[in-house]
Amino acid sequence: MTSLAKHRRHPAAVLVVILLGLLVTGGLYAAANSATQAQSVEADELQIEQGRKLFLEGCSSCHGLQGQGSDNGPSLIGVGAAAVDFQVATGRMPLANFGAQAPAKLPDYTEEEIQAMAAFVASLAPGPAIPSESELDYSDANVARGGELFRANCSQCHQAAGRGGALNDGQYAPNLMQTEAVHIWEAMLTGPQQMPVFADTTVTPEDKREIIAYIESLRTSDDPGGWALGRFGPVTEGLFVWIGGMLLAVILAIWIGAKVR
């Protein structure tokens, strides 16, 4: 003890104490954690195995037995869990029939099955992950800035009010009014079909939350002018006034010109 006490004023003493402290707490934490970690690794493996089975049944005819792709479907190596969740949970995959574009429909798989398939595809190669609840929480996001970002990055295809629009060859940018926040996020991250990828590096997670908050505000905002007519703007409004107004003008003309008895 006396020899140790002699060294307690040594310059290295502080470092030694800190190092010891770190080692002890780290060791204790690892020991306490290893049990739960082993459990979750096992659960992950089970989930991947379940996903692999579902994939072989439902997806491999087009995407290949190892997800390497074929003439009928692209490779899924590296697309990540986010792409699987987007495509399957919005019902776009499995494809009902080959056409210009996979339409959104009711999903064929349960939430659990989709998670399993996502885990399997994510195990093939690293790719974008499904966003967590906290990542998606857009309650504090700046809606006005989201509007600016939406108009700069999204509105050219999805229309300024998010009602979607036409592309070429029968393809289209879908209406966003029913799309869940998680799927909007995943679409930006993975670029499904003709949509470009808006990676976290150029449209940051904060930007994404703001964009989603803006889309949400579009859904809930009132139409002070009454009938929104799909919020498609002057085309539908003009068509409505033309057809309705012309009809009214014709009726009035018939009344004015009718012979009086």
Partner 1 sequence: MSDDTQDQTGQELVQSTGGATKELRPGEWPPADVEHHLRRTDTDPKAQARAVRQVATMFMLSVLFVILFIVAFIAIPRDAVVSIPFIGPISALNSAMGLTFGLAIFLIGAGAVHWAKKLMSNVEVVQERHPMKSTPEETALAADIYEVGRDQSTWAKYPIIRRTMLAAMALVPIPFVISLRDLWIQPASVSTPSVELKTTIWEPGMRLVTDITYQPIKADEIPVGGLVNAVPENLPEVEEEEHNLNARAKAAVIVVRMLPEEIQSQQAPEGDNWDYNGVLCYSKICTHVGCPISLYQQRTHLLLCPCHQSTFDLSDSAEVVFGPAYRRMPQLPITVDDEGYLVAVSDFAEPVGPSYWEISRP
Residues that bind partner 1 (CB under 8 A): 145, 148-149, 152-153, 156-157, 165, 167-168, 171, 191, 193-199, 201-204, 207, 222-228, 255-256, 259-261
Cβ closest to partner 1, residue 123 vs residue 155: 155
Q: How far is the CB of 167 from partner 1 (least distance, A)?
A: 6
Cβ closest to partner 1, residue 50 vs residue 194: 194
- Give strand pairing partners of 172: 166
Q: How far is the CB of 10 from partner 1 (least distance, A)?
A: 43
Structure tokens at 235: 């085309």
15: exposed, middle or buried (Cβ count in 10 Å: 0-12, 13-18, 19+): exposed
Cβ closest to partner 1, residue 74 vs residue 91: 74
Nearby residues of 66 by Cβ (< 8 Å), 6 or more positions away: 77, 124
Specify the amino acid at residue 196.
Answer: P
Distances (CA, A) of 23 to 18, 27, 152: 9, 6, 51
Q: How far is the CB of 87 from partner 1 (least distance, A)?
A: 14
Cβ closest to partner 1, residue 25 vs residue 70: 70
- Give strand pairing partners of 165: 173
| Tokens 């798989």, located at residue | 109
Distance of alpha carbon 106 from alpha carbon 90, whole angstroms: 7
Nearby residues of 127 by Cβ (< 8 Å), 6 or more positions away: 78, 79, 80, 81, 82, 83, 121, 190
Q: How far is the CB of 7 from partner 1 (least distance, A)?
A: 47
Cβ closest to partner 1, residue 104 vs residue 167: 167
Q: How far is the CB of 225 from partner 1 (least distance, A)?
A: 7
Q: How far is the CB of 12 from partner 1 (least distance, A)?
A: 38
Cβ closest to partner 1, residue 34 vs residue 204: 204
